[in-house]
Amino acid sequence: MRLGRIFLLVAVLLIVVLALVFWSDLGGGGELSDADIAATAEAMETIPVVYLRQPVSRGETIQIEKIDRKDLQKAVVPPNVYFNDVVDVVGKIARNDLAQGTYLTQNDVLDDPSQLLGTDLGSEHSLLIPEGMVAVPVPINRFSSVAYGITRGDRVNVIATLGIVDLDVEFQSVLPNNTAGVIAPGTNLILGNDLRSSEAGIDVGWEILFSDFFGNVVAQTGTGGMTSPKGRAELDSLLEQPMYLVPSEPQRTRIVSQTILQNVVVLHVGNFPLIDEEGREIEIIQPTQPVEGQQQQTELEPQAPSQQAPDIVTLIVMPQDAVTLNYLIYSGAELTLALRRIGDGTQTLTDAVTLQYLLDVYRIPVPAKLPYGFQPRVDDPEPPVLENDNVPED
């Protein structure tokens, strides 16, 4: 509507100017006076006005590729209302949904996203997320959050630590498999679980049943559980006799750590405050269960001020990175945040760290098997206990 009115005023001025020129050529009024010429020139003078090349949504940050300039008649442009340079518009926030071709005025844009609070635009936090990115929560503790040293606006790297094990492709179970014996079809014995109640609980025994009781049974397997893992056959070099080896413990997990995200912006640490319709913060009251044997604190007793340590952080990432983080969290991976220096935008290519990496890069030798050793035997090295340490009594 505003654009149509501007074009209508321009058309009226052009008609008036053409009528004056035509009337002058007919000799009706003689030559135009200097005042008429000055007024005509002033009416024809143009100034640049910024307009939208593409539509923008409410709350959107206006980018330079969505705006341009166009010359309009100065007489129809109100002073100090429209923008004359695109530099003055780039980075401002759209107050409302603006259509393509709109000439931007001071009332169409805002300088601060917080000026839109209290409207139906959305939360204040969503306005801080750049276009094309999303916010995703990540669980933290004191270790993974740099001892709670991160805060809103910091930039961090995300390090993922995974535990890898070998699986049976068909069963999708951890190797080694358990061995089992197969009972041939026919009138053979079947071993089944026999649950018998006792004073101490439930005892698991074996119950011997005949297969005829169950009809035609094709086959049955019997296994010893974890006491019968599948091993491998090896030939003893000294005795020259084949031997069957089974593992002495379950499969050990292989650990690997790698930086998966760099220079990620922290949107918030801990829980976001809840805001009501009037923009006031709502106090969250966590219900507490009284500890057995401890008297419940009355309302008149003063409570010491305390702040609960945050257990979650919200990061601003690309949509694909958000899916990656979600998968890692549900897969049980450990995520650690590394705090970056302010203004440091460098991207460093890191190597994944495994046990082999530590031995090779840091030149850590595998200890040789010697005919002597320390006494007493040390399997798990522990730090020394000093005289000033408070050692708890057993």
The distance from CA 11 to its chain's CA centroid, rounded to whole angstroms, is 55
Structural domain includes residue 70: yes
Answer yes or no: do 74 and 23 share one domain: yes
Answer yes or no: do 11 and 51 share one domain: yes
Q: What percent of the chain has pLDDT over 70?
A: 64
> Confidence band (pLDDT; 50, 70, 90) for 91?
confident
Answer yes or no: do 207 and 131 share one domain: no
Answer yes or no: do 137 and 109 share one domain: no
Answer yes or no: do 119 and 210 share one domain: no
> Confidence band (pLDDT; 50, 70, 90) for 179?
confident
Q: Tell how strand 254-269 and strand 312-317 pair up.
A: antiparallel
Q: How far is CA 393 from CA 262, 382, 386, 389, in A?
A: 46, 18, 15, 12
Answer yes or no: do 129 and 193 share one domain: no
Over range 374-393, report the average pLDDT: 82
Give yes or no for a contact between 123 and 59, defined as CB atoms under 8 angstroms apart.
Answer: no
What is the distance between the alpha carbons of residues 98 and 113, in angstroms, rounded to a whole number? 16
Answer yes or no: do 117 and 187 share one domain: no
What is the distance between the alpha carbons of residues 76 and 81, in angstroms, rounded to a whole number? 12
> Confidence band (pLDDT; 50, 70, 90) for 29?
very low
The answer to which of 2-16, 280-294, 310-324, 348-362 has the lowest mean pLDDT is: 280-294
Structure tokens at 351: 């190597």
Q: Residue 121: what pLDDT?
A: 54
Answer yes or no: do 99 and 52 share one domain: yes
Of 257 and 216, which is predicted with more confidence? 257
Answer yes or no: do 115 and 21 share one domain: yes
Structure tokens at 331: 């897969």
The distance from CA 393 to its chain's CA centroid, rounded to whole angstroms, is 45
Q: Residue 27 region, left (φ>0) first, then alpha (ψ -120 to 50), else beta?
A: left
Structural domain includes residue 280: no
Q: How far is CA 132 from CA 96, 112, 322, in A?
A: 20, 20, 12
What is the distance between the alpha carbons of residues 7 and 63, in angstroms, rounded to a whole number? 26
Answer yes or no: do 12 and 108 share one domain: yes
Answer yes or no: do 17 and 38 share one domain: yes
> Confidence band (pLDDT; 50, 70, 90) for 185?
low
- What is the domain range of residue 12? 2-123
156: pLDDT strictly greater than 90 = yes
Of 206 and 171, which is predicted with more confidence? 171
What is the distance between the alpha carbons of residues 130 and 217, in angstroms, rounded to a whole number? 65
pTM of the model: 0.62
Structural domain total, the chain: 3
Over range 78-83, report the average pLDDT: 72
Structural domain includes residue 194: yes
The burial of 315, by beta-carbon neighbours within 10 Å (0-12 exposed, 13-18 middle, 19 or more buried), is given as: buried
388: pLDDT strictly greater than 60 = yes
317: pLDDT strictly greater than 80 = yes
Q: Is 67 helix (H, G, I), strand (E, B) or coil?
A: strand
What is the distance between the alpha carbons of residues 165 and 326, in angstroms, rounded to a whole number? 21
The answer to which of 227-231, 322-326, 343-347 has the lowest mean pLDDT is: 227-231
Answer yes or no: do 202 and 265 share one domain: no
Give yes or no for a contact between 264 and 316, defined as CB atoms under 8 angstroms apart.
Answer: yes
Structural domain includes residue 267: yes
Over range 36-55, report the average pLDDT: 74
49: pLDDT strictly greater than 50 = yes
